[in-house]
Amino acid sequence: MKIIKTGIAGTLESSDVMITVRSNSGKGIKINLQSTVKKQFGKQIIKVTNNLLKELSVEDALIQINDIGALDCTIEARLAAALYRGAEQSEYDWEKI
């Protein structure tokens, strides 16, 4: 999946996360995490993010995560929405999400 424009999904409400993905052509993945629970769950959030990026074959992207205590499944949902929006794709591979 190739990110060609900025994709944003999620909110800054409690139990949610806002994720912004931007193009980073040829420069790999860079993740910036801000989280109300970073000390306890920061590593897990990065792991969940990387797993989905791998599943969806995203190789280059700048990912900004603003987490307000979202569950892993919420992070995956918002990341998937931001990525598909950033890639301008509307054919969803539900098996990989």
Contacts of 34 (CB under 8 A, 6+ apart): 64, 65, 66, 67
Whichever of 25 and 74 has its CB closer to other proteins, that residue is 74
Is residue 87 at the binding interface for other proteins, with CB under 8 A as the rule? no
Question: Smallest distance from the beta carbon of 74 to other proteins, in angstroms?
Answer: 5
User: Scanning residues 3 to 32, which ones bind other proteins (CB under 8 A)?
Assistant: 9-11, 13-17
Interacting positions 42-81 with other proteins (CB under 8 A): 70-74, 76-78, 80-81
The Cα–Cα gap between 88 and 35 comes to 27
